[in-house]
Amino acid sequence: MRNENQYKDVIVVGAGASGLGVGVVLKKLGIDYVILEKDTIGSSFLRWPEETRFISPSFTGNFFKMPDLNTISPETSPAFNLLTEHPTGREFSQYLEGIAEHYELNVETRVEVGGVWKEKDFFVVNTGNGEYKSRFVIWAAGEYQYPKRMAFEGDDLCRHYSEVKSFSDIQGEDSLVIGAYESGFDAAINLVKSGKKVTLLDSTEFLELVNSDSSYSLSPYTRDRINEVAGTVIYKKNTRVTRVHLADGVYTVTTAENKTFTSKQKPINCTGFDSSLSLVKPLFEFKDKYPVLNDYDESTKTENFFLVGPQVKHSNALFCFIYKYRQRFAIVGERIATLLNVSSEVIEEVVREHKEYNFYLDDLSCCDNACAC
């Protein structure tokens, strides 16, 4: 049924971890909102390969006000809900469904956003279900469903990491993996466990890079699993792929150093993801491929248009893990509630709760050094 010209104070686009997380805050603040999701709740996580798990560990510490790294609200814990430390994508989507049900969030699924534009003091969100209008928009559409393309010539001949249902389905005895950050190493590890001979082509040298900020180096969980298959993965560092060619049933991968690697199986492209921001690019300024935001995570180009999720970046701090970007939910909620003249007592109560559980980071001065957050 088409839904013409429905008005809400706030429209949230995306019902993943960031969309539902900020939705919980809006609900607590008593704000009139709707969350629009093009598929189902947590659909990005449902698209993960069967073997892929969270690299950040889940552990229940709510009683001591030390929240689970993977939770999106202070009162809940995926570890407690799912009884596992490193959830699969399917398990985490179940947790998100529980969040939506527990907080009775206003989520409309199967509503695909085709465009967003501003008319005077309100936004028009065009969808296959008609137009929605709002004073504020929070973009929370994520990035996993937007695999990076054109990373090198012939990348259309490869199978992108996001297209793998299960690594056990990959045929043949050998596999070439292109790209060696978290998804590249995850692919290599799971392919080895399924009996494959794996060559991993790393454009830099991620195994040797160590940084105190987990956004810039491999997680301990990944390193532990690499050690389990040590000696069975042929690891080629500083090997940047420039071309993939298919002839006579053989895939030939060529590097910037004019070295070649061959396989009868499709190489797996693990060069990462673009983001959903391509759908609303005119509404942001960009610097070094990241949107420029003010202290409230609001677009500096479009007033009342906010961003939550893994694309948020301030100075050197990249908020690309749940335990990072959830610290900004209440910042966004507080700003919108203040502009909507929500009771100061209600705002203070929500902010206090989030501060008590370290869900609230309003001092961005920490972002001036690379070890921040």
pLDDT > 70? residue 207: yes
pLDDT (average), residues 165-171: 94
* Residue type (1 letter), 68: D
Residue 369: per-residue pLDDT: 54
Q: Which CATH architecture has domain 6-145+274-368?
A: 3-Layer(bba) Sandwich (3.50)
346 within 8 A of 29, measured Cβ to Cβ:
yes
Q: How is residue 180 written in tokens?
A: 């060696």
Residue percentage of the chain with pLDDT more than 90:
80
Render pLDDT for 306-330 as a digit per residue (tens, 0 to 9). Answer: 999 999 999 888 898 999 999 999 9
Render pLDDT for 119-161 as a digit per residue (tens, 0 to 9). Answer: 988 999 999 989 999 999 999 998 888 888 888 999 999 999 9
Farthest-apart Cα atoms in the chain, separation: 71
pLDDT (average), residues 202-225: 88
The residues spanned by each domain of the chain are 6-145+274-368, 155-261
What's the rounded Cα separation, in Å, for the pair 179 and 251? 16
Render pLDDT for 47-75 as a digit per residue (tens, 0 to 9). Answer: 999 999 999 999 999 889 899 999 999 99
Long-range Cβ contacts of 212-220 (<8 Å, 24+ apart): 212/371, 213/316, 213/317, 213/318, 213/370, 213/371, 213/372, 213/373, 214/56, 214/321, 215/317, 215/318, 215/320, 215/321, 215/324, 216/318, 216/370, 218/181, 218/182, 218/185, 219/55, 219/56, 219/182
- What is the pLDDT of the chain when averaged over all its residues? 92
* Residue type (1 letter), 211: N
Helix/strand/coil for 45: helix
Weakest-pLDDT range from 88-92, 95-99, 217-221, 361-365: 361-365
User: For the domain 155-261, what is the CATH superfamily, name and number?
Assistant: FAD/NAD(P)-binding domain (3.50.50.60)
pLDDT (average), residues 105-117: 96
Are 6-145+274-368 and 155-261 equal in CATH topology? Answer: yes
What's the rounded Cα separation, in Å, for the pair 170 and 197? 12
Residue 366: per-residue pLDDT: 64
Question: pTM value?
Answer: 0.93
